[in-house]
Amino acid sequence: MLQNKIILYLIPLVFLSACIKPFTPDIDGNAATKIVVSGKLTDKEGYQYVTLSKSMLLNETEYESLRNCSVYIWDEDGNRFSMTEYSSGSYRVWMDKADLKVGTAYHIQIFTPEGDELISEPDIMPQVAKANYPSFQLDSIYGVYDKYTKGLQFSIDIEGNELDSKYYLFELEATYEHHALYDREWYYDYGVHHIFPPDSSLFFCWTTEKVPEIFTLSTENLAENKFKHFNLHFVTYHQEHLKFGYSLLFRQLGLSREAYLYWESVRLNNNQNASLYSKQPVDTQGNIKNITNPNKEVLGFFSASAISETRIFVEAQPTETYPLCIPIALDRIGFRNIGPSDYPAFLMNDPQGSYFMIWLPDPCVNCASTHGTTTKPNFWPY
């Protein structure tokens, strides 16, 4: 009797499982592939950059560079600035300060090799409030494994006037110092060799990287164009970034309302975990159209922004980093643990003038083994 009941329970489950099929969207390849325009105009004299690419299908993670395009920046007075392709899909043009004026409207025009003409809506470059000196404080955030993580919370005060833009985008660039743990002194490659004096050329490194998060702010609905303690980047004590000194370059961009709405939409979409079984992020509407083929959607927003910059330095902090250097004790077969692909295999120094049978992998003796450079930045104070 019990066996019959089990069979009766299993029969509906079999039919249910047969009804569940993987869902694969049926999307035409031409419709799924879209041109992506990434770039902006700023009021800083120098090169202005634009990157053109094609988005791939939903199951792809990379973009294909869009090469051999004719790209122009126009201002409202009819002045045209021709961009040149300096690398695959990347275009630039030098513009003098006199050509970059607050209150002037700019747009981009693109001709593709396939004959399509793309053009953006004009975007007026607004005035931006002067960036205040950022601050930081020890804080904790609630993270994975239901635990709080200690770190430094960076924030900034906004103090704009009525003439300044009420719409802000913040770009952050981090630079930090990191070290190897050992000088290069003893190494093995079919024999043991001694470097004297020890080589410390790969001991000190610096890495500069863009902070990937998008930070936007609007004071449109506030009584004044001001905001206190707007939180930006958070750096945990579990990262190596704070161990030997850290610097953040803050770029405060003034946006038009249209550009702000675009970047706010991008920020919200990036904060979602995209899944076919959860709410789908919608395509972010930009300001660029395909004039030749209006049905072909173009992704991206070409904006004109004034920028105010400031930099902050943080002295070394007591971090709790995970070790990148893990020495390996050579067992009874000794150097036979090391193959030719590992040469030169550096060994731990013995203060008595010899070496220990301990192999130091590359991160132990080369601070640039995974990232960074041994060239000290000109602005580095430590």
Find where tokens 């489950």 sit.
13
CA angle 61/65/66 to nearest 5° reads 135
For residue 52, the surrounding DSSP H or E stretch is strand 46-55
**How many whole angstroms separate alpha carbon 302 and alpha carbon 72?**
12
d(CA 33, CA 56): 5
The tokens for 56 are 């791939």
Of 173, 165, 269, 174, nearest in space to 217 by CA: 165
pLDDT recorded at residue 2 = 42
From CA 297, how far away is CA 116, in angstroms rounded? 12
Question: 10-residue block means of pLDDT along the chain (382 residues)?
Answer: 44 43 47 85 98 72 86 98 98 98 98 97 97 86 69 95 97 97 96 96 98 96 96 91 96 97 90 38 78 95 97 92 90 87 95 93 96 97 88
Residue 138: its pLDDT value, please?
Answer: 82
* Tokens coding 37: 């325009």
Please give the backbone phi and psi of residue 165, each rounded to the nearest 5 degrees, phi first.
-60, 145
Single-letter amino acid code for the residue at 97 = K
pLDDT given for residue 8 in this prediction: 43
The DSSP 8-state label assigned to residue 373 in this structure reads B
Phi, psi of 342 (to 5 degrees): -95, -5
CB atoms within 10 A of CB 46: 12
User: Residue 158 pairs with which residues in a beta bridge?
Assistant: 227
Residue ranges covered by each domain of the chain: 30-126+257-305
| Count of CB atoms situated within 10 Å of the CB of 184 | 21
Peptide bond into 344 cis (omega under 30): yes
For residues 39 and 42, what is the distance between their CA atoms, to the nearest angstrom?
A: 10
Where is 13: in which H helix or E strand? Answer: helix 2-19
Over residues 144-199, the pLDDT tens digits come to 555 778 899 999 999 999 999 999 999 999 999 999 999 999 999 989 999 999 99
Backbone angles phi, psi at 190, to 5 degrees: 75, 0
Query: Number of C-alpha atoms within 13 angstroms, CB side, residue 5?
Result: 2
Can you give the pLDDT at residue 32? Answer: 62
Lookup: tokens for 108? 């981009």
Distance CA 137, CA 271 (A): 24
- Strands 35-42, 298-314: pairing is parallel
Note the pLDDT tens digit of each residue in 44-75: 999 999 999 998 654 445 679 999 999 999 99
Amino acid sitting at position 45? E
What pLDDT is attached to residue 7? 45
Predicted local distance difference test score (pLDDT) of residue 308: 97
